[in-house]
Amino acid sequence: MINGNKVLFSGMQATGNLTLGNYLGALKNWVSLADEYECYYSVVDMHSITVRQDPAVLRKRARALLTLYIAAGIDPEKNCLYYQSHVSGHAELAWILNCFTYMGELNRMTQFKDKAAKHADNINAGLFTYPVLMAADILLYQADVVPVGIDQMQHLELTRDIAQRFNAIYGDVFTVPQAYVGKVGAKIMSLQDPAKKMSKSDENPNASIYLMDDADTIRRKCKRAVTDSEGIILYRDEQPGVKNLLDIYCACTGKAPEEAVKEFEGCGYGQLKEAVGDAVVGVLEPLQTRFKELEKDKAYIDTIIKNNAERAAYTASKTLRKVQKKVGFPERVR
């Protein structure tokens, strides 16, 4: 709780181009939850360097991501949008929490296993302790709720375990957070392989719709989406390609899957793909227009970055001081 309001924390990495999966699984929920909570939305650039980055590209993408948060509809005056690296408390708390996290727990993390396999030449300690930094992000702001896609649930469970472990030793220091997973769009799958999630690091550009894709590209990618030979539009696991298209359609239009299935009764896959393309364009075009406008207003974005970093640092320092005292660090002499 901050000023009597429940707190929400979430973050996204500025690596790669954001996909429709990132938008429907995460960003869109952030916007809808913003009115109910005191919200902190971070660009988690410290997490990004667990994989090698080109510094100039990372800087550019981090700024674009923060701008995109605003373009998606998050009001930066009411919500705190900031760069993780601008608040040193994240690293400080992460160190302390490292000492309350077991190797065995981190060894079980599937994201670590996946990323270690993908970056076999750079399995660094940061990649291993990535979930601890994520726990620090969340616990630093005493977050009650954390909206994420399904793939981040394991990290959130670990965060809860760390918080409970710490509280059991030192008393009620941390709020134990809850995950918030949206009903639709929680896991958008690749358009080329519906068994895999749509991911910004997918090498096949046809597998993902990028938030900045133009209308023609979006429609073309939908048209090429892999389906099946059943020839019937039903929302079921046996037809993962069609199910994914229906999921995208529903997440973009706000319709329920049963409603969509009824709407497409008797239609062919071509018609479904066309409708999905239109629905996606309808959602992404306004976002792109707003992004392009905002991007030009350099001074405005700079002010947001400065003010929100100060706001975040203030809240973070309150938790950090409390934690430092609990673990036995000497009081500061003033």
Q: Which residues are catalytic?
A: 115, 197, 200
Burial (CB count <10 Å: 0-12, 13-18, 19+), residue 180: middle
Cα–Cα nearest to 272, from 253, 245, 250: 245
**Measured between alpha carbons, how far is 275 from 116 in angstroms, rounded to an integer?**
39
Contacts of 199 (CB under 8 A, 6+ apart): 19, 21, 190, 207, 208
The size of the interface with ligand LTN (CB under 6 A), counted in residues, is 14
In the chain, the DSSP E strands lie at: 7-12, 38-43, 80-83, 145-147, 178-180
Binding mask 2-41 for ligand ATP (x = CB under 6 A): ----------xx-xx--x-xx--xx---------------
Give least dist CB 249 to ligand ATP, A.
15
**Measured between alpha carbons, how far is 214 from 195 in angstroms, rounded to an integer?**
26
Residue nearest to ligand LTN (CB): 11
Binding mask 144-183 for ligand LTN (x = CB under 6 A): --x-x---x--x----------------------------
Contacts of 114 (CB under 8 A, 6+ apart): none
Contact of 190 with 209, CB cutoff 8 Å: no
What, of ligand LTN, ligand ATP, none, does residue 11 touch, CB below 5 to 8 Å by kind? ligand LTN
What, of ligand LTN, ligand ATP, none, does residue 134 touch, CB below 5 to 8 Å by kind? ligand LTN
Q: In the complex with ligand ATP, which residue's Cβ is closer, 196 or 298?
A: 196
Burial (CB count <10 Å: 0-12, 13-18, 19+), residue 240: middle
**Measured between alpha carbons, how far is 177 from 137 in angstroms, rounded to an integer?**
11
Q: In the complex with ligand LTN, which residue's Cβ is closer, 96 or 260?
A: 96
What, of ligand LTN, ligand ATP, none, does residue 201 touch, CB below 5 to 8 Å by kind? ligand ATP
Binding mask 162-201 for ligand ATP (x = CB under 6 A): ------------------------xxx--------xxxxx
9 part of the interface to ligand LTN, by CB under 6 A: yes
**Three-class DSSP category at 267:** coil
Give least dist CB 112 to ligand LTN, A.
11
Q: In the complex with ligand ATP, which residue's Cβ is closer, 118 or 298?
A: 118
Tokens standing for 300?
């405005």
**Three-class DSSP category at 2:** strand
Contacting residues toward ligand LTN, per CB under 6 A: 9-13, 44, 47, 134, 137-138, 146, 148, 152, 155
Contacting residues toward ligand ATP, per CB under 6 A: 12-13, 15-16, 19, 21-22, 25-26, 148-149, 151-152, 186-188, 197-201
